[in-house]
Structure 1
């Protein structure tokens, strides 16, 4: 074996060893980023702009327990787009597939593996989370104001 071949095989081994199989969380996070990116493109593209205007606003947060109902509602609207033209656009079809995959992964494959840190349904629609304080923290804030 030549020294260059040995170096290449070591580099390949390091590259393979550095990879890890995706976890439920990483897959859900990656897919949600893809959906948000695709949704942004569809909003800017002149042929799909009018089709996606009717879709509900959505800011995906995989650690928000309201994501399940929001995805379900979003899929319902996508299934019932008013025109055949909108339902058949390739970008819309791809978005529907990705949202369906995300919904299935969250509810079937990663069921009980994901940890939800909030249940702020308004944050999924507006993108702004309102802080929820525990009782003891809330009491401290009230005392600080006095």
Structure 2
């Protein structure tokens, strides 16, 4: 009985597998989207968020690297100098830089892109890949 309790405690305390490159990119994109939402809502940073382009991160979209690079450029060259020093914007800049580095350098060959819809990152509505469209056409015939 003691052995059973000991094993249960051991499994409960043991950490799972270390995060994979994909899981880290996915969790960091969620964290970045949450932080970006707070930047747009907070009264202290709402004015600083106006020049920021819309961004809906999808690590399965091939255009995510281009949009992250453009967004990072806007953050680094913000038209309001005092906004560049805001803590939330500094954290947002770091998270986006980290996500960009993970996607382009660390996970370069690990990520699978299901779509290349660049407008989907701006609007949040992504089109399916051509293969899915062809499948739907075959079913209709």
Residue of structure 2 equivalent to 1:85: 82
Contact 2:115–2:128 (8 Å) recurs in 1: no
Match of 1:99 among 72, 96, 99: 96
Gaps of 5+ in 1: none
Correspondence 1:73 to 2:70: yes
Gaps of 5+ in 2: none
Distance (whole Å) between structure 2 residues aligned to residue 105 and residue 131 of structure 1: 25
RMSD: 2.2
Residue of structure 2 equivalent to 1:34: 31
Number of paired residues? 139
| 1:13 Cα offset (Å) | 2.0
| 1:15 Cα offset (Å) | 2.6
Residue of structure 1 equivalent to 2:56: 59
Q: TM-score, normalised by structure 1?
A: 0.85
Deviations 1:84-124 (A, max 9, x none): 21000000000000000000001111111111111011100
Q: TM-score, normalised by structure 2?
A: 0.88
| 1:137 Cα offset (Å) | 3.0
Distance (whole Å) between structure 2 residues aligned to residue 132 and residue 108 of structure 1: 25
Q: Which moved more, 1:49-58 or 1:132-141?
A: 132-141
Distance (whole Å) between structure 2 residues aligned to residue 125 and residue 63 of structure 1: 14
With over 3 angstroms needed to count, the CA separation of the structure-2 counterparts of 1:136 and 1:43, relative to structure 1, is closer
Match of 1:123 among 117, 120, 123: 120
With over 3 angstroms needed to count, the CA separation of the structure-2 counterparts of 1:108 and 1:16, relative to structure 1, is farther
| 1:140 Cα offset (Å) | 2.9
Match of 1:137 among 135, 138, 141: 135
SS in 1 for 2:130: coil
